[in-house]
């Protein structure tokens, strides 16, 4: 059986992506670091609609936790594999660079970029060994494409993820593994609730923030058979804001 793993799957975009993939009939592993209650709510919502979901706890930025959790899952599911990986986990620690503490720089890079590396490196060999390959979707950001003042750490992490996506897509294509990135603009999530939304909406041609479900639909398409010839792409979903 082919499973999906969504890192940072307990809230916001991660929650919407988990629910959407489950509706496609894919068993979903909901990764979370500390908020077990939120993760359980996502699992229960999926199961109440007839989908299949389970929790898997680890900090994506901690190599040992990643390896331990995924190795244990693989041992418990010898005939299954994670064919769909959505690297969604990310954090913000906004500040102008000259005032940015080193720990804030490292925390953002560790979660978005090193987290991608640790999780993907663990799962990629299994995808490449299987006949049907796999799908890897990396959640980057408008910030990684255009840069945003006060987000040097976040922009650096997301821009690096774009480069990694394009390189890995070339490495994995021969094994039928596609690697793409999704770059949302302003989306209504916990990560954007502290932003001046009414002011920022005026910058968006559509004059609104996007919905998590809209992003989840794009991710679901990239996981589908219809997207089997798309790889190495960075797809923006931003209401026209570039």
pLDDT bracket for residue 227 (50, 70, 90)? very high
Based on its alpha-carbon atoms, the radius of gyration of the chain, rounded to whole angstroms, reads 17
Question: How far is CA 56 from each of CA 7, 20, 60, 183, rounded to the nearest angstrom?
Answer: 9, 18, 11, 25
* CA distance from start to end of the chain: 39
* Distance separating alpha carbons of residues 55 and 18, to the nearest angstrom: 11
Is 154 in the active site?
A: yes
Percentages helix, strand, coil for the chain (3-state, rounded to 5) are 50, 20, 30
Tokens at 164, concatenated: 């990694």
For residue 206, give the 3-state DSSP assignment.
coil
pLDDT bracket for residue 131 (50, 70, 90)? confident
pLDDT bracket for residue 190 (50, 70, 90)? confident
The catalytic position among 84, 154, 229, 242 is 154
* Distance separating alpha carbons of residues 144 and 115, to the nearest angstrom: 16
Q: Quick one: DSSP state of residue 99? A: G
pLDDT bracket for residue 240 (50, 70, 90)? very high
* Distance separating alpha carbons of residues 13 and 153, to the nearest angstrom: 20
CB 73 within 8 A of CB 30: no
């Amino acid at each position: 059986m082919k499973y999906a793993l969504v890192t940072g799957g307990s809230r916001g975009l991660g929650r919407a992506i988990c629910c959407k993939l489950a509706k496609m009939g894919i068993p979903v592993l909901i990764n979370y670091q500390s908020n077990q209650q939120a993760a359980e709510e996502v699992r229960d919502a999926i199961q109440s609609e007839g989908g299949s979901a389970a929790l898997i706890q680890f900090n994506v930025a901690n190599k040992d936790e990643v390896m331990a959790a995924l190795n244990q899952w693989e041992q418990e599911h010898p005939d299954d594999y994670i064919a769909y990986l959505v690297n969604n986990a990310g954090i913000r620690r906004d500040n102008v660079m000259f005032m940015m503490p080193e720990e804030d720089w490292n925390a953002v890079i560790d979660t978005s970029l090193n987290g991608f590396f640790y999780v993907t490196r663990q799962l990629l060999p299994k995808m490449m060994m299987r006949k049907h390959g796999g799908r890897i979707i990396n959640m980057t950001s408008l910030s990684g494409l255009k840069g945003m003042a006060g987000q040097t750490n976040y922009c650096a992490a997301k821009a690096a993820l774009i480069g990694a996506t394009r390189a890995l897509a070339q490495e994995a294509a021969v094994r039928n593994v596609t690697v793409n990135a999704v770059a949302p603009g302003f989306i209504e999530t916990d990560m954007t609730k502290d932003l001046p939304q009414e002011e920022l909406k005026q910058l968006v041609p559509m004059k609104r923030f996007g919905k998590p479900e809209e992003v989840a639909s794009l991710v679901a398409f990239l996981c589908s058979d219809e997207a089997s010839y798309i790889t190495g792409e960075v797809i923006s979903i931003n209401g026209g804001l570039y």
